[in-house]
Chains A and B, each alone.
Chain A
Amino acid sequence: MRFVIIGGDAAGMSAASRARRSDPELEITVLEQTQDVSYSA
């Protein structure tokens, strides 16, 4: 099962981390157009 996330900031990385905690088997891929993920404005 593959979970693909477009956008690696507040919403996208929250989802990625939470999904990993719930399901160690899930394949999680984040696509982020910049070099930065999860910054806080």
Chain B
Amino acid sequence: MIDDLVVRQADVFRNKMGIEVLTDHRAEGIDRVGRVVTGKGPQGVFAIPYDHLLVATGATPIMPRQPGWDRPGVMVLKSLDDGRRIKAFLASRPVRSVVIVGMGYIGMEMAEALRAQDIAVAMVKPRPALLPWLASELVETVSATLEKAGVAIHTGFDVAQIVDDGDRLQVMAAAGASLTADMVLVAVGVRPNSDLAAAAGLALGPDRSIAIDAQTRTSDPAIRAAGDCADAFHAVTGQRTWIPLALRANRTGWAAADDVCGKPVTLPAVVGSAVFKVFELGVARTGLTAKEAADAGFEPATVTIHTASRAHAHPGASRIQVHLVGDKGSGRLLGAQMVGREGVAHRINTAAAALHAQMTVEQFSQMDMAYAPPYGPAWDPLLVAANQLIKTL
């Protein structure tokens, strides 16, 4: 049930916590001199004064502007309403096939959900690589899993337009190929909802996210920003970055509240830890890819290994692949990626901790990690990879 996803209803915030929650209220302007937010609500326009303002407007799915993207049956998935729309569409007619545009984690999670309902799924994207940030051997595992699950992968498919085809939709590539589907799901990424902040003259950061400091303050100290609309410092590069994920949204929300309430706050930097599930596989990353490392001025060395997910001869073992990135100059660990059926999601956090601590690969290789046969080999897969990477630094 979609409504089970609501963590707490508006009424609970209103009645139990004394928080005024005005739903159906869209903020459209910030008057920084008068300290007033204006917008439109069910009773028409509103103007609400503030002493402290928090912009927590999140992110919006990117929607291409070519012809046909506004057809009914072309969907995005971000809000609960998007989810309700998709469910209603699937219930309203026989949907036999879906084209998913984009191959990020949301597209892959949707592919799995649709295949579970026996709906044919084709995924398309213009660029040649499936997950461009993921090491190629790990990508091969992901694409093999998708193909085995009956998902057709069309890389190099640049959608030019979507046209009606009776009750169905035809997705046409610039190069001439075309696919027919009952529904098209667009999952090509998100952008920060920063227009309101930009119009108010607040400074912006990477990808037009709102620039904030370690107290979540924007360039106007009476206005804070938190969550997907705001930027962050990256612990590995020391540079500003934009990585919209849920833990950070919760954490920056807390930090903004503490700062408003006069409590001391220093937001930590991020390392970009993320994990998702695609059919039976877990895919996880933290820190920099080799390319990001080179772009940030490091001299990256990489290693990719695979080991068993459990001790030798333990029944049920599968394969874990680990990709590590280190810096030749300093010996620092810069990033880690992992793919496997088990043992991936939480193991990535060990590498994340090492990145926060700015460990060298050598120091990382000396960490005392837990071992028991059902959970891994005596030399943890991360240690196997670190031991290999040391040799190339």
- A residues whose Cβ falls under 8 Å from a Cβ of B: 1-20, 22-24, 26-41
Contact = CB atoms under 8 A, between A and B. Distances in A.
A38 to B, nearest CB: 5
6 contacts: A2-B50, A6-B53, A14-B254, A33-B25, A34-B23, A35-B24
B228 interface: yes
A32 B25 contact: yes
A15 B18 CA distance: 14
A2 B129 CA distance: 49
Interface of B: 5-10, 13, 17-27, 37, 39, 48-58, 78-81, 193, 196, 226-230, 246, 249-254, 256-258, 260-261, 263
A3 B80 CA distance: 26
Contact of A7 (B13, B227, B263): B227
A4 to B, nearest CB: 4
Nearest to A9: B58
B50 A8 contact: no
Given A12-B54, A14-B257, A34 B81 contact: yes
A3 B333 CA distance: 41
Given A31-B37, A37-B21, A4 B249 contact: no
A39 B227 contact: no
A13 B253 contact: yes
B5 A22 contact: no
B84 to A, nearest CB: 10
A14 to B, nearest CB: 3
A33 B55 CA distance: 13
A19 B258 CA distance: 7
Contacts of B78: 41
A3 B308 CA distance: 52
Contacts of B51: 1-3
Nearest to B252: A11
A8 B26 contact: no
Nearest to B53: A4
A5 B23 CA distance: 12
A30 B253 CA distance: 13
B256 A40 contact: no
B257 A38 contact: no
Contact of B79 (A3, A5, A36): A36
B57 A18 contact: no
A30 B21 contact: yes
A35 B237 CA distance: 39
Query: Top 8 A-B pairs ranked by shortest CB distance?
Result: A11-B227, A14-B253, A12-B56, A7-B56, A18-B257, A19-B257, A4-B50, A11-B56
A17 B257 CA distance: 8
Contacts of B56: 5-9, 11-12, 15
